Structure 1
Amino acid sequence: MPSRAERNLLIESNLPLVGYLAAETHSRATHIPRDELAAVGALALVTAADAFDPALGVPFGAYARRRILGAFADEMRSMDWASRGIRKRIKETVAVRETLTAGLGRTATPTEVATAMGVTKDVVVEALGDAARTVTTLDDPAARDVATEIPLPEESALVGERRDILEQAVAALPERMRRIVQAVYFDERPVKEIAEELGVTHSAVSQQRSEAIRLLRDALDRYFAEGAAPTTTTRVSAGARDAYFSRIADASSPRIADIFREAAPA
């Protein structure tokens, strides 16, 4: 187990993770106060630091992330008011609305949804209202796609674009960094195993992982920046960073590509 000083350092250095996960969860469940999620997440981070065993070879960030999301799921389950029957009705109504919306090229009205389902308009309006406040647990595979409000087509396109930029940013990482990020954060493999596979030290893997995260942060900051260019966090050279932005631009949609070509002049 870590010493008290090591435990405190783990907590202090990973507090931004709590804020990020609380914000991401709150964006999908806006009726849950963000400060409540942050409090639950902070407590989970502390307990994760107390229980963490470095000998297992699992990065603390990945371990803490699972504990924090688990705490969020428990909190959301405790607040969930929707019965199985209500959830079934919501799911059916939303599915019909999305199908009609896709076919019509615009958001289907409650009357159109009601006609397609063979129910009254009031039933549809009530179901859609419930959909706007239903709490979905984080361990539900469908949770990633549930919003507290049913998105309009243009809103769905924006969400898809944001997801696309993260995928492109990971794919554009230098080969070794990309392999490490994939292994640590997606495959959840021990750092020791990754180091042996790559023929490098545990420390080298950790350093590459940290630099990869800084590059991803710079890419996301660039995409969401408004006005002045954001502060750079990566430690690679300006040329290497610009080459990274160029790779993202080459593999992305025209709108995203324009943003990164501006950030990486020839």
Structure 2
Amino acid sequence: MSSRAERNLLIESNLPLVGYLAAETHSRATHIPRDELAAVGALALVTAAEAFDPELGVPFGAYARRRILGAFADEMRSMDWASRGIRKRIKETVAVRDALTAGFGRTATAAEVATAMGVPKDIVVEALGDAARTLTTLDEPSARDVAAEIPLPEESALVGERREVLEQAVAALPERMRRIVLAVYFDERPVKEIAEELGVTHSAVSQQRSEAIRLLRDALDRYFAEGPTPAATTRVSPGAREAYFTRIADGAGSRIAGAFRESAAV
């Protein structure tokens, strides 16, 4: 972007899109907290605004949607509960059930599927239960065909403040987490490349990224809390979490710093 003001305007006018896409994705992937998706999407929106080139002729809304949905997909893959073996079992079981259903003209029972597969009924019941938990792909047209402008004024009112807190929260992350967040969401580097640079496994990078997102979520919850201090989502120790909040306060302006220090004193 040609100026910071233009970048900020793009972020402010499109942040409601993050909330919409987070809600839409959460409705199909309920095992991932909506707030965590919103935090991931907000980071993706900021990086989209940084990288956007209007001369390419692509509307920013469409460009941002792609970046946000891509960030959601990365987050969902990093939190995927199903191993390759489980997914294979799900696919085979569903295929047999569908074939029997087509032949019978009615939904096949778990017992009938188990008989056809030559496995115990409880294995089929478990596989079909797992199938109900699998995620709808983000490549579906319904995931992309979202209006560029969504009238959610109650969210837009806090856009600038949320962005400011988020920027301070990213800057205060522990060094390795901050490096990973910046590399993934700002520089768009592959996780494999980041892992090689840090000398750790792909899984370790994904775990650190997920923990960083939880810390960012806790920071936003702490700042915007009304009443009792919100429960922590992060897995770090309470002392490390409070030290993180202190770093945010130390690096932020008086308004943000005051909110974190007041909540810490409660």
Larger relative CO (CA 8 A, sep 6+): 1 or 2? 2
TM-score (norm 1): 0.49
Q: Tell me the TM-score normalized by structure 2.
A: 0.49
